[in-house]
């Protein structure tokens, strides 16, 4: 499973095509409109790696048996 940093970097690399109020957001990870959401989502990845929250932040795939 990715870390929060890896998640943010994957968005920078992927460069999804997102528009807000008619303006194309070139870098979803760093744009002031979308960065707070990206950072919040990245925190969920970090919590999944924290032993205190791992049981509620991860699930085992019934297809692969992996988290």
Please state the separation of Cα 64 from the chain's center in Å. 21
Using the CB atoms, write b or e for 9-24: b if 16+ within 10 Å: eebeeeeeeeeeeeee
Model confidence at 67, pLDDT cuts 50, 70, 90, reads confident
Other C-beta atoms within 10 Å of 7: how many? 19
pLDDT, tens digit, 9 for 90 and up, residues 9-65: 999 999 899 999 999 999 999 999 999 999 999 999 999 999 999 999 999 999 999
pLDDT computed for residue 14 by the predictor: 93
CA distance 39 to 64: 28
Structure tokens of 31? 């744009």
């Amino acid at each position: 499973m990715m870390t929060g940093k890896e998640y943010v970097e994957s968005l920078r690399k992927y460069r999804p095509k997102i528009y807000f109020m008619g303006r194309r957001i070139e870098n979803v990870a760093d744009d002031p409109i979308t960065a707070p959401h990206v950072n919040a989502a990245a925190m969920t990845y970090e919590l999944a790696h924290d032993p205190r929250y791992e049981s509620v932040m991860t699930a085992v795939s019934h297809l692969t048996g992996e988290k």
